[in-house]
Chains A and B, each alone.
Chain A
Amino acid sequence: MSEFEPKIVAFFCNWCTFTAADLAGTSRLAYPPNLKIIRVMCSGMVDPKFVLKAFLNGADGVLIGGCWPGDCHYINGNLKARRRVALLTEVLKQYGIGEERFWLRWIAASEGNMLREIAADMTAKLKQLGPSPLQNIAQMAL
């Protein structure tokens, strides 16, 4: 049987994390193909609904990548994202999707290497953890 390949939906901010992903690419730093990257203008524009929809549509993990505090292109979008992530984590945790499946990470434009590490780390952890509990839910229950 082939190994379980987790599906990770990644929302990357245009200015830092997406650029870091670009850098990883141009530097030929290979990272797991499990990430499905969606470029957003800022981590602060990731509506909790985006994350909920990703999980409800079968994502095994969601990763939000933003600029380090102080480096946000929009001054403080990443700090707003952090509060929202804390809130949404508290909601999801109650029904079985914990912090281990829902990550927020700061990755600067120059940190292509860190992007690779985080992508590999999350993929490995989700492989260990197995499919999302929402995978078992019948379509008729959603």
Chain B
Amino acid sequence: MAKFAKLSFKKDELNKELAGFFKGMLEKGAVDAVLVPMAQPKKGVRLALVTSPENAAKVDPFAPVAAVSGAKIASSLTSRPSGRKVAMVLRPCEIRAVIELVKLKQVVLDDVLLIGVDCYGRYENTDFAKFQEKGGTSESFLENAQAGKTATQDVDIIGACKICEFPTAEGVDMRLCAIGSGSGTVFIEAVTKRGEEALEKSGLKPGEVPAGRDEAVKKLVAGRTEARDKKFEEIRKEVGTFEGLADKLSACVNCYNCRVACPVCYCKECVFVTDTFRHTGEQFMMWADKAGMLKMPNDTLFYHLTRMTHMSLFCVGCGQCTSACPNGIDLMPLFRACADKTQARFNYKAGRSVEEEQPMAGFKPDELVEVTGQVK
């Protein structure tokens, strides 16, 4: 049975209260370090790895921004583990990517206390700066989002978040709950035994259960799911052909930022930057001769289609690809719509569970008979 601790805060003191919670965990040795979104000196919020309790003062876990996917940071911190206990405060999409990376042996959760933050969505990095300039804070964001309003006069949450049906994190030890928690209140939920121990050590007392949470989450998920299906329909109409796909990607310059930003593009070295694709001048000339011309840089469609076969089974729809594109291509709907199909074929959902085997990691003699249609 999950336990909730209520955290009431006065105006402008949400982060102060949350800092107290993390400070308590560090001081009492519940963990040795906390990876948590932290305010930068003037503006911006980034993840920080905090080991000393007094440095927890500027935490901002509900900040609607994720300039880099925390799943990649989790991989840096644990793929060659430190042996020290770390609490990781991540968004639901980052947690789902972490779950995929665990299966790819690129994240090790043995010494990790996973804390999922309730997520109403995030702004683009540059939009978040505008939001802060106009005096926006996590508190103001949460208050508006709870009332169903994520947009301000200047900015709105990214497309990926608008169609994300996972506002809460699963498979975590604890949750920071803000959805439906009411004004001036957030809740800290201990989900697992490990979470309960950490909550106890932090000094917070379990008690009141957030009454409006389940209902609010349900409503949010229903709205987002509807928006998602509409988006899928739109994108499938737009890129239902190779011509459509080529049009969609016409601004691509082969910079490969989308795969650098992608938390589940798992290859240690991307084949597109290896010698396999370092061709000789003679080779390029041969290709040009064959068709009379060759677009340069070449292999744009090839790259994106290859990426789809690699990452679409693990795509969690975080939208980092769109955020990373220097030429403004909205890649997220393209990859998510593709992922929707490929994951459905194998009855697989990225980020659902660490227990579920990744589709390309196994095989059975008597499955997928329809592929060949042959029976001996």
Known: A85-B371, A86-B368, A134-B242. A139 touches B345 (CB 8 A): no
The 10 closest A-B pairs by CB, nearest first: A141-B246, A79-B363, A48-B309, A90-B342, A96-B241, A95-B242, A90-B345, A90-B341, A91-B308, A140-B295
Is the pair A52, B240 in contact by a Cβ cutoff of 8 Å? no
Question: Chain A nearest CB: distance from B275 CB in Å?
Answer: 15
Is the pair B291, A139 in contact by a Cβ cutoff of 8 Å? yes
Query: Of A88, A96, A137, A142, which contacts B240 at CB under 8 A?
Result: A96
Taken together as a complex, chains A and B put the C-alpha atoms of A3 and B246 apart, in Å, by: 29
Taken together as a complex, chains A and B put the C-alpha atoms of A51 and B73 apart, in Å, by: 34
List B contacts of A86 (CB < 8 A): 345-346, 368, 371
Is the pair A82, B308 in contact by a Cβ cutoff of 8 Å? no
Is the pair B242, A68 in contact by a Cβ cutoff of 8 Å? no
**Chain A window 91-111, contacts with chain B (Cβ cutoff 8 Å), 1 for yes, 0 for no:** 101111100000111100000
List B contacts of A133 (CB < 8 A): 241-243
**Number of CB contacts from chain A to chain B under 8 A:** 112
List B contacts of A105 (CB < 8 A): 372, 374
Is the pair B291, A91 in contact by a Cβ cutoff of 8 Å? no
Taken together as a complex, chains A and B put the C-alpha atoms of A68 and B375 apart, in Å, by: 10
Interface band, chain B: 35 or more
Which residue numbers of B lie inside 8 Å of A, CB to CB?
A: 236, 239-247, 250, 271, 291-295, 298-302, 305-306, 308-309, 312-313, 337-338, 341-342, 345-346, 359-360, 363-368, 371-372, 374, 376
Query: Of A68, A84, A95, A96, which contacts B360 at CB under 8 A?
Result: A84
Task: Scan residues 47-94 of chain A and give those whose CB is less than 8 A from a CB of chain B.
Answer: 48-49, 52-53, 56, 68-70, 76, 79-80, 82-91, 93-94
Question: Chain A nearest CB: distance from B232 CB in Å?
Answer: 11
Q: A128 at the A/B interface (Cβ < 8 Å)?
A: no
Residue of B nearest to A105 (CB): B372
Interface band, chain A: 35 or more
Is the pair B302, A106 in contact by a Cβ cutoff of 8 Å? no
Taken together as a complex, chains A and B put the C-alpha atoms of A91 and B346 apart, in Å, by: 13
- 17 A-B pairs besides A91-B342, A137-B246 with CB distance below 8 A are A49-B306, A52-B302, A70-B365, A82-B372, A83-B360, A86-B346, A86-B368, A91-B308, A93-B341, A94-B341, A95-B239, A106-B372, A141-B243, A141-B246, A141-B301, A142-B298, A142-B300
Taken together as a complex, chains A and B put the C-alpha atoms of A69 and B143 apart, in Å, by: 59
